[in-house]
Amino acid sequence: MKPKSRVSAGFLTLTGAVLLISADRAGAQTAETPTAECKAGADRALSDMPLPSFQRELLDIAFRAASALPILPHVKDRSRSQEAVVGACLELDQPRMALGYIEGIANWRRGAAYADLAFYCAQRGHAAAAQDYLGLARQVADAENETMEDFQSWRRDRILVKIAGTHVWLGQTQEAARLQSGVVDSEAGRVEAVKAALVDSERFEEHFKALEALVATGNFDTLRNALDGFAELYDGFYGDKDRRTQLEEKMKSSWGGAPAMLRIELLMKLAGSALEHEDRGRATGLTKEAQALTSSEIPRPEDRIPLMARSAALLHRAGDEEKGRSEIAAALGTFETERESIADMYRREALVPIAESYQSMNETASALAVYKLAVDEGALNVNTRPRAEDLCATCLSMALHGVEPDGDLWGRIKGVCKGLDSQ
């Protein structure tokens, strides 16, 4: 089996100078400034692919919105949103743009983002550049290790596990194993999806048993990571009916105690794999299983509506276009009916997946209408943090799904962004 590029850099989402903020001032840990030689060598391997100007502008506004949050006291939220912009840049093949944004992240997430950039380079055959960015990521992890409290160790371990994933991709398995040794439970096993993407037929049983061993630990975080590994194998070996069936049965027998949301996410992931392999019948069956769980076990509308929207898109892709349109209309209708019961900080989260699903159905006018509603709802909150996070996330969604704002929507977006800049 050939390595697959579907494993994202985040396995497992304004160009400026590096912000070096001390922990006692901002509660954030940062790395030492990377050497000029290291950065210059790695930067030469980066080349942004052609991208429509509106998508680049949306990415820029998303980063501006995230960066409008003051480091004190919002460094965690600010950096999380900035990291999401970096992930979107990499998904859109804009690594140089991503690099500029990484250098504006003030806390440990800068190291995680450098590791994602390294993985991106490794996937595309730029091994030397990948090693350089791994070095920058490691600098952040080492700085974190020197100053963190025990309860913060997951932050360093998140970076180390991302670094390990790149070493796996590059065939440096011993180094990957060393980096993963002793990480906290929440990070253990995160590299399994990367390993699964590289497994060939001869090593299938070996890797399957390794994932079974993770399931047997009984630890929820480890189980979640093992299930991701099984899902990656499912996609990679979809053409082998016996192994595909074995994997699906193992996943379903293992996730009994897992939250419904995780089970639904995995069912949708499997449905997506079925569609990638043009198996519309199985995709429809898996989607209907996800819908049944959504109806019976997800009571809150802000959680249920996005799942309804995603299911509608899957059904549409599977060939039942009429059902898909009916389901997406039902999702929007549910939002309209239950809007007042949804806190304003969660309304954008309910609306954006509806817009994305409309766009996937080539109904751009409907997508734009829902995006406008999402921007307006996000702007209602009197607090700066949720307004900035909502604008950032909405702009990223439009950039990733190729939705160009019309004049009216541009005006609304830029108006909200200007309001953030002035605060």
Domain boundaries, the chain: 1-187, 199-276, 299-423
CA distances from 357 to 59, 290, 306, 389, 403 (A): 20, 16, 9, 21, 12
Q: Are 377 and 344 in contact (CB under 8 A)?
A: yes
Residue 343, SS3? coil
Residue 326: name the closest of 277, 291, 297 by CA.
291
Q: Do domains 1-187 and 299-423 have the same CATH topology?
A: yes
Q: How many Cα atoms are found within 13 Å in the side-chain-facing hemisphere of 45?
A: 20
Complete DSSP assignment for 93-135: T-HHHHHHHHTT--STHHHHHHHHHHHHHHHTT-HHHHHHHHH
Residue 215: name the closest of 184, 252, 243, 264 by CA.
252
Residue 362: name the closest of 315, 307, 420, 401 by CA.
401
For the chain, 423 residues long, give each residue's pLDDT as a single digit of tens. Answer: 434 445 665 654 322 322 222 232 333 333 344 555 555 556 667 899 999 999 999 999 999 999 999 999 999 999 999 999 999 999 999 999 999 999 999 999 999 999 999 999 999 999 999 999 999 999 999 998 776 665 578 899 999 999 999 999 999 999 999 999 888 888 878 898 899 999 999 999 999 999 999 999 888 988 999 999 999 999 999 999 999 999 999 999 999 889 999 999 999 999 999 999 999 999 999 999 999 999 999 999 999 999 999 999 999 999 999 999 999 999 999 999 999 999 999 999 999 999 999 999 999 999 999 999 999 999 998 999 999 999 999 999 999 999 999 999 999 999 999 999 776
CATH class for the domain made up of 1-187:
mainly alpha
Nearest-angstrom CA–CA distance, 227 and 242? 18
Determine the CATH number of domain 299-423.
Answer: 1.25.40
DSSP state of 349: H
Nearest-angstrom CA–CA distance, 253 and 234? 15
**Residue 60 CA to its chain's centroid (Å):** 18
